[in-house]
Structures are given as structure tokens and as C-alpha cells.
Structure 1
Amino acid sequence: MIGFDYGTSNCAVGVMNNDQPTILSLGDHGRFTPSTLYSPSRDIISHWLYQRLPESAQADFKARRGLSLQRSQNIIRELKLDGISPELSFGQTALDNYLNDPEEGYYIKSPKSFLGASGLVEAQIHLFEDIVAAMMMNIKTHAEQALQKDITKAVIGRPINFQGLKGEESNRQAINVLTNAAKQIGFKDVEFQFEPVAAGFEYEASLSQETKVLVVDIGGGTTDCSMLLMGPEFRESTDRSAHLLSHSGVRIGGNDFDIQLALKGIMPSLGMNSYLKTGKPMPVNSYNQAVAINNVNLQTEFYSQANRRFLEQLKRDAAEPDIFERLLKVHDQKLSYCLVNGAEQAKIALTEAHEANIALDEIDHQLSVEVSRGLMLEASNSQLRQISQMMDSAVKQAGCQPDVIFVTGGTAKSPVLNDYLTAQMPGIPLVIGDHFGSVTVGLARWAKRIFT
């Protein structure tokens, strides 16, 4: 039995060992595998998955994905004729393969962000199920190798609200995708636990008395907040519903901070904030679409041929067409992930430094931009305000003030974020948890509690 953090930014697996949680090392990935997948073609993902399913599951999969599997056979033959391996890659290797040639192949980062999206047709839902299943299969295989035993039971973390516009309908859709994917690859018992609640379990293990804890979990795609009554007398309970005093969530996470930093820090070098020959401001819609890597509809619009023609017209109308040409290059070479990855690396660098450099050689030779903590604060002001409002909402629902604020998630390392949150609730201690591991070990604790 495992705790499985299928995260927006990273995936990790936790197990209990002598009543202590351990995060498994997943082969070359280490303890945390970036939530990325790269395939030479989108249409061969289902074939890769089919080949690795147990024989008992292959017939059912073939019945449901027959057309996709048929199509993949032709594509695999073409790839082999071109000397291209039909293998999928995951984690950092997936990113490396994408960056090596952004125009080729199919790369997806943070598929969890899309699972609650509105308007998905059946074929798109099937694709996301196969993407999630392939990623889970990679993780499960490494975890079983580390443990030297089969894994059949998993508690998977989930946000309070998945990204999506339809509330509970979006949540149900996302949970169905995750459940179907998990059972498809061999998990027999699948349960879910709210990620902020799981993160709080690890903090609870350190408490010696009853404490009201406001848990703020800043994930890659969502930020969730729960007010929990915690303490040593509650640790062994298998029903914590009475201790969950309130919860709230917003569809804002680390990816959104990266996107806003890319928009504010990088896009001016591609012509945003410039002017047309008429003296009117340059339209910004395409710039927003270009970096919206967590919105499948906006990315589809940006990379459409109709938008390519629109960008050509904008270039003719631009007062600085050579600068605007860089946005056309982003379109033609599919560089959205390159831009946002540069912003993400700069955000990480700003944890230790007050300024960071983003190299943009893929866009233009020797092009680079400088960003700062001040710029990051300005870029993410709207997101920070929404997180603050979510915290206020959780406190209001609970009808009491927290004794402590426990913050976890990758972006929790940022001094920009910490300073902002401290200012929102002055006088209440702010505790920073294990930035990536709190949810994973909390899920492992819960898995042991409910499966034994």
C-alpha cells in the first residue's frame, strides 16, 4: 500500500516503514519525478500502455481503444523507418527530449491541470486517461522495483477543487480519469484524500497538544486551504471529518506564478507592450495564449493556422516587426514550454537571490532578460490576493482563528510568497513544511491507517 502524490509539478510515492513514512527513490528520477511525458507522437501513447498491461487487462483495453491502437501501428512503422524510437520518456528526460527539438514529438507537462477542463469530448478524455495511466505505470514500476513487491492499494492525493469551470462536475470528471487510469494499470483499491489534509498529517505528528492548524498547500495547479483540529489524540482516527473545520481552494498554483513571470518578464522582449504603426498598443491576447500551458483551449487557439495568419498580419502592422518576429518563432517552433520553463527556473533562483537571468537563445541568439523578486511580486499580485482571500474564507467558515499557519508545496519556498502570507495574518506563526514531501508522507500515513 502506498501514498501516491500524483502532483501537478511532481509525482512521488510514500510508504510506511516501522511506523515512519519514507519517500521512495524512483530509479533515476530520484524521490520526485517531474509530472511530464514526452512521446515521439501523441497517437502511440495508447500502444505503449497496451504493451505493458497484464494480459488479463489487454483484451478490455483493446476493445475500448481499438481505433487508437490501429492508428498507432502505422505511426510506429513510420517512426522506425525514420530511425526514431517509439518509446515514451518521463520526468526530466521528457523535458530534455522536448527541449532538444521542440518542433517534433508530443510533450505534456502537468496533465493534472487539464483533467477538470470543460468541453472535453470522449476522445480527449480517453487520451488523458492514457497519459495519466502511462505516467502512473512508470511510477508504479519504479516503486515496485524499490519495494521488491507488487503494489495493489493506493491513496491518491487530490485538491479541494481541480482546475475547471464547472465546480463539482469538473471534480467528478477529474476523479473519474484518475480512478480509471489507476485501476487500468493494476491498482485494485484506490482511495483519495485531500492534499492539504494529507500535508497536515505530517505536521500533526510533531504536535504535543490540540492545535488549530490552517494548512495552505500551494501545488503546481491549485492552492488548497484547510482548517484542521490536530493533536496527538486524533492521530489514529480513520474518520477526520469532524476535525476538518473548513476548507477552500482556488485554481491557482506554482504553474500560474511561472506563467505570470513569463508574461511580465519575458514577453516584453517579444513585442508585448510595443505599438503598432498606427500608434495603438500591440494586442496582448496572443501573448497570453502563448504562455497558457495549463489551458488546453488557449494553447490550441495560439497554435492554430488561423492565429498564424493573424500573427503575420500583426507583424506587418507592428512598429518593430523584428521584435514581433520572436513571437512568430514561438508559434512555429512550439516554444511555449521553453518560455515557461525559463520563468520557472528563474522563480526557483529567486528563492536564494534577489535577481535572476533567463536565457532565451531559443528565441534569439544571445537574448536574455533579468527578473527580480520585485517583478515577481508585481507579476503575481492577482494570484497572491486570491490565495489571501481563500485563507480568509477558510478562517471565516471555521469560525475561529488558527494557532499556526502551515504552508507546504514547491512555491512555499519563495520569500516573495512567505513575506506576503505573513503580512496577511500578522501575529500568527507561519511554519514552512517539507516543500515537496509533506503531502506524500501524509498520504502514506493515511494509506496505512485505512488499509490495515
Structure 2
Amino acid sequence: MSSCGLDFGTSNTTLGSIIGDAPVLCALEPGHSTILSAIFYEVDGAVLIGRKAIDAYVEGAPGRLLRSLKSVLGTSLIDETTMVGRQRTGFRDIIAYYIGAVKRRAEQASGRELRNLVHGRPVHFVDNNPLADRKAEATLREIARSVGFDEVTFQFEPIAAALDYEREVTREEIALIADIGGGTSDFSIVRLSPERHLKADRKADILANDGVRIGGTDFDRQLSLGTVMPLFGFRSPMKRAGLDVPSGYFHDLATWANINRMYDPKVMIELRQVRHESKHPKLLDRLVRVLDEQRGHTLAMEVEAAKIALADAKTAAIPFEWVEPGLNVAIARPDLVRHTAQLAKRIGARIDLCLGQAQLAADGVDAVFLTGGSVRLAHVRKAITAALPAARVVEGDTFGAVGKGLTIEASRRYGPG
């Protein structure tokens, strides 16, 4: 039997174990140590996860796609069910299937039975709600045990990233770890050194811990509402003066965890009535088509792809020819910044809170270690680094640092084998 570290992320998941003396992430898909946090239920009962799940959906296979599974933790959705095929399935069972499949793949890749787990978790699953936060962790523990893990403990994701970074440290320093993931932004200020890396108990070295429930999926939502949803009727007027088309439809369609709600037959009946009362019914026709074909996730994936492209390019085009001939939208980097500036500002504001916890001035931090996919967005990076102008900026393994750190912690707690 063996210990392992699991980073179950909103967008991507990794699982690692110690090979020799080093943490190694298992190949969860051919050629990839990351697997997308996605699951697809085919109508014939087959279940796909990761990239195959996305491929099946994009290719038009009939079934139900779910992404951002982690985002339901700490919300009322975790105790609800959703239609999968001809029956309703609980979100707990959906997450359990996904984590169980990841465990089996990792065991096959590593040739080891994995029984002892250090599970990653954000600093806050839910902002300003300790009860919901504890419930989310308890739910993950129950799920992990239900799929075959005996011992299940937790470590904050930014602390795990710090353990991975510490392997490179050559002298004592104080580092701020910024883990900007798909669902949350988490920060820790930690005292690191080669000597401290050997210690089992690191509580005294953790100077501050904070986080906020803002991540890449929130940037997707705001970008979608600002640039894409108006094409489908968002903020368009009704025939009755002073009224707009109800906004709830568009907020759900722009939110990964809520997209499947829009496929409910009751919603379709409502929308067709709204369409008759809309001043611009052709916009609602586009929305109805998207939902009739259950292509809401296609919209979300196109927006996500544009956001990722804008990390390197000045503009990104989203083709919606499948909705209506000639329908396209071009998004420029300033559009991304304008629609998500407040999110970046709120992320950056957490650093001052961390400094206050640690009783440090900004120049007391030697290095900023950046990890998580959303740190690739220039205005997010600027919001973080501007708060610590004298600190050295260190690039982490974007999708692997947390998983490797959790694996290091698992080896310390349970032994490598």
C-alpha cells in the first residue's frame, strides 16, 4: 500500500506518489499528468472522464456533461440531484465516481494500491461561512473514504505549493505563495529553508493563510456576460417598457456548475414565452437553439478558450456559425481586463490581509511563488506582484505544484509506502 497526494481541482486534477525520493504525478491520461475535472454520461450508460468526456461532448455524442465538479462543495447543490440519462443522480455520487476513477488510474499507472491520502483543499471553500466550509471538507473526506481510501487528511493548497517550491530554496526566506486556480484564489506566507524542509511539523513556519472564492471560472463568467451573452438576449428589452429579459437565464448559462439547469423542460417553456414578449425575439431564438441542442457547455468552452488565448494574444475570435450563419464575436485583451478588473482587484486585496496576519511589511517578503492557471492573466499577476514590489517573482509548475506538495506531505504523514 502507498500514500498519495490528491489535488482535486475545479478545472484540473492531479494525483502523485513518491517514486525514489521525489514526488511524481501519475499519468492519469496518456501523455498527461493532469486530467480535466469533467465527466460525461453517455445515453447508453457509459461514463467518460477528463479529455475523453470533453471530446465526446464536442463531437455531439448524446449525453450529459458536467464540469467544475468541485464548485458544488459548500453549496446546497452538493445535496441535490441532476438528471443523468433517465434517472436522477446525486452530486456526491458524481464526484465519488470521478475521484474513484482517478484513484484507479493512478494505481494502474504507479503499480501501487493507494490507501492513505492527503487531500488538497482551498483556504476557504466558501467565503465567510465556517459551517459550510467544515461541511465541504467533511463531504470530501466521506467521498474519499467511500472510494477506498483508509486514511484521509487535508492540507491547504498554497501550503502544498510552498512545499514543492521549498525543494528549490537554497537559503532561508519568507515567501508568499499565490495559488490562483479555477475556483479559488489562495495565499500563504511561509518561512522556508533547506533545513526546515526536513521538519515534519511546520505549523510555526506558516505565518499567514487566506483565500477568496474567486478563480478562473469566475473570469469565464464575467467575460461571457460582458461579451457573449448580449448576443443571446442578455440585457435586451422586453416589449413592456422598463423591463429587460430576465437575467437569471444568462447568469446560469455563464456559470459552469449551473449550465445543466438550463436544459430543464420547464426552463424551455418559460424561455419560449419570454421570446414572444421580447422586443428582439431573434436574440432569444439564438438562446433557444443553444439550449435545444444542449450546447451551453460549448459556449462556456469557447469563452474559456478565448480567455486563455488572451493571456498571450491581443485578440481572440469566437465563431458562432453553428448558432447562426455569420455570427461571430471578437474579444480584445482590454475587454477581458474591463469585465474582470474587479475580480483581479479583490484577489490582490487578500495580500494586504495576509501581511497583516503575518505582521509583516511588504518588503518583509522575499519571494512571490505563482501557481495555478489564472496567474497567466497579466492583470491578475499585476494585482498580486504590485502589492509586493520588492519581492522576487518565481514561476511554479502551473498545474502540478500543489499536487507535488501534497505528495510530499503524504510521505511525511504516512511514509512513502
**Cα distance, 1:272–1:437 mapped onto 2, change above 3 Å:** same
Once the two structures are overlaid, the 10-residue window that deviates more, 105-114 or 277-286, is 277-286
Does residue 114 (structure 1) correspond to residue 72 (structure 2)? The answer is yes
Does residue 268 (structure 1) correspond to residue 230 (structure 2)? The answer is yes
Match of 2:85? none
Question: Alignment partner for residue 317 of structure 1, among 277, 290, 295?
Answer: 277
C-alpha distance in structure 1 between counterparts of 2:136 and 2:402, whole Å = 19
C-alpha distance in structure 2 between counterparts of 1:438 and 1:180, whole Å = 25
Match of 2:183? 221
Does residue 144 (structure 1) correspond to residue 107 (structure 2)? The answer is yes
Matched residue SS, 2:30: helix
CA offsets per residue over residues 337-357 of structure 1, 9 Å max, x none? 211111111112112211111
**Cα distance, 1:253–1:419 mapped onto 2, change above 3 Å:** same
Question: Alignment partner for residue 186 of structure 1, among 148, 156, 159?
Answer: 148
Spell out the pairing of 1:44-123 with structure 2 (5 A cutoff).
84=44, 86-101=45-60, 104-118=62-76, 121=79
C-alpha distance in structure 1 between counterparts of 2:148 and 2:96, whole Å = 10
Matched to 1:178, the amino acid is: L
Question: Alignment partner for residue 305 of structure 2, among 345, 351, 356?
Answer: 345
Instruction: Tell me if structure 2 keeps the 8 A contact 1:219–1:253.
Output: yes
Instruction: Tell me if structure 2 keeps the 8 A contact 1:128–1:177.
Output: no
**Cα distance, 1:29–1:335 mapped onto 2, change above 3 Å:** farther
Question: Alignment partner for residue 435 of structure 1, among 398, 403, 413?
Answer: 398
Matched to 2:320, the amino acid is: L
CA offsets per residue over residues 250-290 of structure 1, 9 Å max, x none? 11111111111111121122233433445646343322122
Q: Post-superposition shift, 1:417? A: 2.1
Match of 1:419? 382
Instruction: Tell me if structure 2 keeps the 8 A contact 1:29–1:91.
Output: no
Count residues with an aligned counterpart.
Answer: 404
CA offsets per residue over residues 339-377 of structure 1, 9 Å max, x none? 111111111211221111112234223422111211111
Match of 1:335? 295
**Cα distance, 1:350–1:328 mapped onto 2, change above 3 Å:** same
Instruction: Tell me if structure 2 keeps the 8 A contact 1:349–1:356.
Output: yes
C-alpha distance in structure 2 between counterparts of 1:348 and 1:416, whole Å = 13
Instruction: Tell me if structure 2 keeps the 8 A contact 1:7–1:35.
Output: yes
Gapped regions of structure 1 (runs ≥ 5)? 42-83
Once the two structures are overlaid, the 10-residue window that deviates more, 116-125 or 439-448, is 116-125
C-alpha distance in structure 2 between counterparts of 1:141 and 1:128, whole Å = 20
Instruction: Tell me if structure 1 keeps the 8 A contact 2:192–2:205.
Output: yes
Instruction: Tell me if structure 2 keeps the 8 A contact 1:236–1:449.
Output: no
Matched to 2:359, the amino acid is: G
Instruction: Tell me if structure 1 keeps the 8 A contact 2:345–2:383.
Output: no
**Cα distance, 1:367–1:424 mapped onto 2, change above 3 Å:** farther
Does residue 40 (structure 1) correspond to residue 3 (structure 2)? The answer is no
Gapped regions of structure 2 (runs ≥ 5)? 83-87
Q: Post-superposition shift, 1:6? A: 1.1
Higher strand share: 2
Q: Post-superposition shift, 1:194? A: 0.5
Match of 1:170? 132
**Cα distance, 1:106–1:29 mapped onto 2, change above 3 Å:** farther
Match of 1:28? 30
Matched to 1:270, the amino acid is: F
**Cα distance, 1:184–1:35 mapped onto 2, change above 3 Å:** same
Q: Post-superposition shift, 1:27? A: 3.8
Higher helix share: 1
Instruction: Tell me if structure 1 keeps the 8 A contact 2:344–2:379.
Output: no
C-alpha distance in structure 2 between counterparts of 1:315 and 1:122, whole Å = 30
C-alpha distance in structure 2 between counterparts of 1:411 and 1:142, whole Å = 27
Once the two structures are overlaid, the 10-residue window that deviates more, 234-243 or 107-116, is 234-243
Q: Post-superposition shift, 1:8? A: 1.0
Instruction: Tell me if structure 2 keeps the 8 A contact 1:8–1:219.
Output: yes
CA offsets per residue over residues 288-326 of structure 1, 9 Å max, x none? 1221223x4x863x4455543443343223332212211
Match of 1:382? 342
Q: Post-superposition shift, 1:132? A: 1.9
C-alpha distance in structure 2 between counterparts of 1:431 and 1:282, whole Å = 47
C-alpha distance in structure 1 between counterparts of 2:320 and 2:395, whole Å = 33
Match of 1:17? 19
Matched to 1:330, the amino acid is: V
Match of 2:120? 157
Matched to 2:249, the amino acid is: S
C-alpha distance in structure 2 between counterparts of 1:317 and 1:123, whole Å = 32
C-alpha distance in structure 1 between counterparts of 2:335 and 2:49, whole Å = 32
Q: Post-superposition shift, 1:31? A: 0.8
C-alpha distance in structure 2 between counterparts of 1:119 and 1:181, whole Å = 15
- Could you tell me the percent identity over the aligned residues? 32
CA offsets per residue over residues 172-213 of structure 1, 9 Å max, x none? 222222222221222112221100000111111111222111
Matched residue SS, 1:406: strand
C-alpha distance in structure 1 between counterparts of 2:290 and 2:280, whole Å = 17
**Cα distance, 1:214–1:261 mapped onto 2, change above 3 Å:** same
Instruction: Tell me if structure 2 keeps the 8 A contact 1:8–1:35.
Output: yes
CA offsets per residue over residues 200-237 of structure 1, 9 Å max, x none? 11111111222111111111111111111111221122
